[in-house]
Amino acid sequence: MTNNDFRFILEERDNEFKFEKKISTVNIRFNRIAFIFFIFFSIFLIYSIHLIHLGSRKTDIDNFKEFESSETIKRANIVDRNGTFLAKTVSSIDIGINPGEIIDQKKLILNLKLIFPKKNYDLIKEKIKKKKFFWFEKKISEEKYEQIMKLGDKSIKPKENIIRLYPQKNLFSHIIGQIDDDNIGISGLEKSKDKRLKKNDAAIQLSVDKDIQFLIREELIRYNKIFKTLGSAAILMNVNNGEIISIVSLPDFDPNERISITDKKYINRATKGVYELGSVFKTFTLAAALNTKDIEPQTLFKNLKKSIRCGKNIISEYDDKIPSDLTAEEILIRSGNIGSVRIGQIVGIENYKKFLNDLRLIQSIKFDIDEIGVPLQFNWGKCKLATVSYGHGITTTILQLATAYSILANGGYRINPTLIVTDKNLERELILKKNVSKKIIPILRKIVTSKEGTASLANVKGFEVGGKTGTAQKSSVGGYSRDKINTFASIFPISNPKYSLVVMLDEPKINNEYIYDYRDGSGIKYKGTPFNTAGWTSVEVAGQIIEKIGPILATKYKEVN
C-alpha cells in the first residue's frame, strides 16, 4: 500500500466521520425544537384549563350585567280615574366596584371622596381588601353618575335598575300594595295583577279618585286623634256599577319603603277586617220583610216588650224610652232591637238567609285584591235568627256592607265592587223586588232628618243624606269586651241615589272637649261626646266627609250612572 492509498483511506474515513457527525447535529436540533414545542403546548394547555376553570366559576360580581336590559323587569303603570300616577316605573343606576380591576386605590378613593364625601371610606377600604365585588352606591342621580363615569376607572361598574315608585305614598297603600326586590307583587293590586303588570302594556286605570281619597283620609286621620281610635276605614262607592271612588284604611304605610308589614294594626280594615257591625243589619231585616211582602213600612207592631229571652240569653232594648207600639219603619228609625227581632221572625230563617246570601253579606266575595276577609260561619236557629235580626252575632266586611247598601239604593240590582273602571253598558241582574228600594230609601232619610233618628249629625244641607248607624261591642274570649266598632252606612242623594259611604271607627273613645255643630242650618252646637255610639262618632265623621267631598262629586261626576 502506497502512501497515496493510505491518504485516500484516511480521507475516506474522515469523510465518513464527518457524515456521521452531520446526522447527529440534525437529531439534536430536532430534539430542541420538540422540547420547545412541548413547553409551549404545556403552557397553552395549562392556560386553557385555567380559562375553562374560570369560566365555570361564578363571577365575583354577583349576577352583575353591565347595563342589563330593563325591559324584562318593567311593570305597567297604575293610574287613578283621572290619569294621576299611583304606581310608576322609572330607571335608576347603581354603582359597583370590582377590586380586582383597581389600578390605583389611593387615587380612586380620593376621587370618590370628592363625589360622595359622606360615605364611610374605612368601610369601603375593608370591602376592597376582600377582593370581591360590592355595591358602592345605589340609585344615584344623573349628575353623580356623570361625575363618577368621568373618572374612567375600569373597576367602576354601573348597572341600570328599575324602581317602582308610588308618588302618592301612603294614600293608596292598602290597595296598590308592594313589590319585592325581585319585581314580584306581594300585596294589593301589585300582587293580584302581577302578570298583567309585567306585560308592561297600557297602564291600569282604577276607579278611585286621588282628590276624593285625600280628603277622606284627612278626615279619618283627624278624627282618629279626636276619638283616639285604634284605626278606621271608609269606602265611597258608586251604587249603580260598584266602582269604588275611595277606599281608606288607617293606619296605613308608605309602599316606597318596601318594608315587611307584619303588625296587625296595619290590616286593611276596609276589605280584610271582619267585624260585627251591629244595627246597620236592621236595615237588611226590614228590607228582607219588604222583599217577601210580609209587611209594609206602616205595618204596626203592638206591645213590643223591653226584653225577651232566647235560650240562656236575654235580648234587651237599648233604650227604655222606645214606645211599645211602633210601625215597621219606626222600628228602623229608632233602631229598636225587639222590633227588629219580631220582623226577622216574620221573615223566617230560610228567607232571611237567602236574602243575606243574595246580598253576599255572609259569604266570601271576589274582589280586585287578595286581601279579603271571610265572614265567620254559624249555624242558623231560632235564637241565631233573633240576634242576627238586630245585627248581633253576625260578621261581615266593610266592603260587603257598602256593596249591600248600594244594592238597596240602586233598585235592587246586583253589583260587584271593583277598583277598575267598568263597562258602562254592562247588564245588571235584578235580585230584589223592584219596590224594595223605593220603600227603604225614604226610611234611611228619616233616620237622618227626624228627631227620633240616630244620625242627625249627618244631615249635610243640600246633599240629602240617608243612612243607618251601628254600634257593636267587640267579641273577646268568653263573650264581649267594652271596646266598640262604630259604623255609619249612608246613601246620598236620597232623591237620586248615586253614592254609598260607609265609615267605621275601631275602638273610638268619647271626647269631652269636642264641639258638635249641626249641619242642618239650625245653628245648634253641642260640647262633648255624650255617648260612645255611632250616632256621636261615625256619623259625625261621615258628615264632615260629605261636607268636603259633596261639592266635588256634584261638579266632577254630574253624569254618574
pLDDT 10s digits, 211-220: 999 999 999 9
Question: Helices 105-115 and 142-149 meet at what angle, rounded to 10?
Answer: 160
| Segment 526-533 mean pLDDT | 96
Q: How far apart are CA 484 and CA 401, in angstroms?
A: 17
pLDDT in tens, 336-372: 999 999 999 999 999 999 999 999 999 999 999 999 9
How many helices (H) and strands (E) the chain has is answered by 16, 18
Q: Region 146-157: what's the mean pLDDT?
A: 93
- Interstrand relation of 231-238 and 244-250 (parallel, antiparallel or unpaired): antiparallel
For residue 506, the SS3 value is: strand
Q: How far is CA 317 from CA 94, 203, 356, 434, 484, in A?
A: 67, 53, 24, 32, 18
CATH code for the structural domain at 71-119+132-205:
3.90.1310.10
For residues 326 and 161, the model is more confident at 326
The cell 256634584 sits on which residue? 554
Element (H, E) at 156: strand 156-165
The 8-class DSSP code of residue 279 comes to G
Region of poorest pLDDT, from 44-53, 87-96, 247-256, 494-503 = 44-53
Answer whether residue 54 shows pLDDT above 80.
no
Nearest to 220 by CA among 480, 421, 506, 16: 506
pLDDT the model gives residue 18: 44
Q: Are residues 252 and 173 in contact, defined by beta-carbon separation less than 8 angstroms?
A: yes
The pTM assigned to this predicted structure is 0.81
Q: Are 473 and 533 within 8 A, CB to CB?
A: no
* pLDDT of 38 higher than 80: no
- Helix H, strand E, coil C: the string for 33-76 is HHHHHHHHHHHHHHHHHHHHHHHHCCCCCCCCCCCCCCHHHCCC
223, 514 Cβ separation under 8 angstroms:
no
Query: By percentage, how much of the chain surpasses pLDDT 90?
Result: 73
Nearest to 417 by CA among 166, 267, 235, 144: 235
More confident residue, 43 or 169: 169
SS3 139: strand
308 backbone dihedrals φ, ψ, rounded to 5°:
-135, 155
Average pLDDT, the chain: 88
69-73, 179-183, 258-262: least confident range: 69-73
The predicted-structure confidence for 82-102, as pLDDT tens digits, reads as follows 999 999 998 889 999 999 999
445: cell is 232619610
Distance, CA of 291 to CA of 286 (rounded, Å): 9
Question: Bigger pLDDT: 398 or 70?
Answer: 398
Helices (H), 306-397: 328-333, 337-347, 349-358, 382-389
Most confident of 15-19, 27-31, 234-238: 234-238
pLDDT bracket for residue 382 (50, 70, 90): very high
| Residue 450 burial (10 A CB sphere; 0-12, 13-18, 19+) | middle
The DSSP result for 449-494, as a single string, is HSTT-S-GGG--TTS--EEEEEEEEEEETTEEEEEEEEEEEEEE-T
Secondary structure letter of residue 101 according to DSSP: G
Report, as an integer, the average pLDDT of 266-274: 96
Q: Which residues contact 553 (CB under 8 A, 6 or more apart)?
A: 212, 498, 499, 560
User: CA 541: distance to chain centroid?
Assistant: 23
Tell me the C-alpha distance between 244 and 500, whole Å. Answer: 10
> pLDDT digit string (tens) for 472-520?
999 877 788 899 999 999 999 999 999 999 999 999 999 999 999 988 7
Q: Mean of the pLDDT values across residues 525-541?
A: 96
Domain ranges of the chain: 71-119+132-205, 211-556
Query: CB-hemisphere CA count at 13 Å for 114?
Result: 9
* Mean pLDDT to the nearest integer, 55-72: 44
Q: What pLDDT was estimated at residue 422?
A: 84
Going by C-alpha positions, the residue among 402, 527, 537 that lies closest to residue 457 is 537
3-class SS of residue 519: coil
Q: Can you tell me the distance from the alpha carbon of 158 to that of 45, in angstroms, rounded to the nearest whole number?
A: 35
Looking at residue 146, what is its pLDDT? Answer: 92
Q: Is the pLDDT of residue 540 over 70?
A: yes
List, in order, residues 6 or more apart from 123 with CB less than 8 Å away: none
pLDDT digits (tens, 9 = 90+) for 115-150: 999 999 999 999 999 999 999 998 888 889 999 999
Q: How confident is the model at residue 1 (pLDDT cuts 50, 70, 90)?
A: very low
pLDDT at residue 30 greater than cutoff 70:
no
Q: How confident is the model at residue 453 (pLDDT cuts 50, 70, 90)?
A: very high
Give the homologous superfamily in CATH for domain 211-556. DD-peptidase/beta-lactamase superfamily (3.40.710.10)
The pLDDT of residue 16 is 43
* Listed ranges 38-52, 223-237, 305-319; the one with the highest mean pLDDT: 223-237
Q: pLDDT at residue 405 above 60? A: yes
User: Within 10 A of 477 (CB to CB), how many other CB atoms are there?
Assistant: 5
